[in-house]
């Protein structure tokens, strides 16, 4: 007779399954390559700009790269589109994909609650998120240390990486929720990608307007557009609470500056909300 499975055993099984997926393996390979290639590109740049005179003296000072800068560059490259696209693909096949392929059904006929199944799959997803952060960081960090030395902002950069992890964890939860609501792989990929692009455009648009706020407010007043000035003010006030500010919380991180607490609160709220939606859907759906 079967026993009641332990959550840890289910998480291990889900991690093993994720690790065997082609999409996950390709993602890890791409992230390793990113961690390898970026330091080498910076090394190439630093060597190319070193120009010496006939007398043998340096004419141009090469850029002073260090491991912290390498990490920052790699993180930025990873955070812009690469890893988020990977998260969308992996979540789509792991949740909607398993429902459509009916492999999830085979797990649900076992002596386990749906809540435990969802939690196990979510925790396995978080392992992927963590691996997807630390693999390029370790590769690029080690290579950066060897090539350039640590630099002064190394610890700050690692804090930035931790903040990135929090944003990724929340984003993966959001995609999981959408995937279970839509229950379609193309729907999940298309829907999340569309939301993500629009949300980012909105966030960046407001952020750009925020930087030019004094100038824009003067222009609006000059044109007699008091409502536009008020709307801009409200938008700037709301920006830290937007999903883009929450899930891209690394974007507002400035070493030494205070953290934007509104975005942290929003991140926790949106993540909890996404998990709750995922759970309420998963708990009730009929599985074919």
Partner 1 sequence: MTGTVALQVQGLTRRYGTRVAVDDLHLTVHEGDVYGFLGPNGAGKTTAMRCILGLIRPDAGSISVFGEPDPVRARRHVGAIVETPAFHGWMSGRANLEQACAYAGIAGAEVQTEIGRVLDRVGLTERAIDRAGTYSLGMKQRLAIARALLGRPRLMLLDEPTNGLDPRGMREMRDLIRSLALHDRITIFISSHLLAEVAAICNRVGIIQEGRLRAEGRVDALIGEGNTAPIVEVGSAEPDALEAVVAAVEGAEPLGPGPNGRLLVRLDAITPEGLARALVQSGVPMTALVPTERNLEDVFLEVTR
In terms of CB distance, is 61 or 284 closer to partner 1?
284
Question: Are the C-beta atoms of 151 and 68 separated by less than 8 Å?
Answer: yes
Least distance CB 232 / partner 1 (angstroms): 48
Of 26, 45, 108, 146, which lies in the binding site for partner 1, with binding defined by CB under 8 A? Answer: 108
* Residue whose CB is less far from partner 1, 101 or 238: 101
Give all strands (DSSP E) within 25-176, no chain letters: none
Q: Which residue matches tokens 């829907």?
A: 191
User: Which stretch, 48-56, 58-66, 110-118, 243-251, contacts partner 1 (CB under 8 A)?
Assistant: 110-118
CB of 172 vs partner 1, minimal distance in Å? 21
Member of 33, 45, 58, 101 binding partner 1 (CB under 8 A): 101
- CA-CA-CA-CA torsion sign (79, 204, 267, 174): negative
Least distance between partner 1 and beta carbon 127 (Å):
15
Residues in region 113-132 near partner 1 by CB under 8 A? 113
CB burial class (10 A; 0-12, 13-18, 19+) of residue 158? middle
Q: Indicate which single residue of 52, 64, 105, 273 sits in contact with partner 1 (rule: CB under 8 A).
A: 105
Q: C-alpha 62: how far from its chain's center?
A: 32
At a CB cut-off of 8 Å and minimum separation 6, what does 279 contact? 115, 118
CA 248/CA 15 separation, integer angstroms? 25
Q: What residue ranges bind partner 1 (CB under 8 A)?
A: 1-6, 9-10, 12-13, 16-17, 20-22, 101-103, 105-113, 284, 286-288
């Amino acid at each position: 007779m079967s026993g009641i499975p332990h959550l840890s055993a289910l998480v291990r099984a889900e991690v093993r399954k994720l690790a065997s997926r082609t999409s996950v393996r390709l993602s890890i390979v791409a992230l390793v390559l990113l961690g390898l290639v970026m330091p080498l590109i910076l090394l190439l740049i630093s060597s190319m700009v070193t120009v010496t005179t006939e007398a043998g003296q340096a004419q141009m000072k090469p850029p002073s790269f260090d491991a912290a800068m390498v990490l920052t560059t790699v993180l930025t490259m990873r955070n812009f589109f690469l890893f988020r696209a990977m998260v969308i693909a992996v979540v789509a096949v792991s949740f909607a994909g398993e429902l459509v392929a009916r492999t999830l059904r085979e797990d649900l006929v076992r002596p386990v609650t749906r809540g435990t199944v969802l939690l196990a799959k979510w925790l396995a997803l978080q392992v992927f998120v963590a691996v997807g952060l630390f693999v390029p960081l370790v590769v690029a960090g080690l290579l950066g240390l060897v090539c350039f030395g640590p630099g002064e902002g190394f610890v700050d950069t690692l804090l930035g990486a931790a903040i990135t992890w929090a944003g990724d964890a929340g984003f993966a939860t959001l995609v999981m929720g959408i995937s279970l609501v839509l229950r379609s792989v193309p729907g999940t990929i298309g829907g999340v990608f569309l939301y993500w692009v629009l949300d980012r455009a909105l966030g960046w648009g407001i952020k750009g307007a925020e930087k030019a706020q004094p100038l824009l407010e003067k222009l609006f007043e000059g044109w007699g557009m008091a409502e536009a000035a008020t709307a801009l003010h409200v938008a700037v006030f709301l920006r830290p609470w937007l999903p883009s500010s929450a899930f891209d919380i690394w974007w507002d991180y400035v070493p030494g500056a205070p953290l934007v607490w509104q975005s942290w609160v929003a991140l926790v709220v949106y993540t909890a909300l996404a998990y709750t939606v995922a759970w309420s859907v998963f708990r009730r759906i009929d599985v074919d």
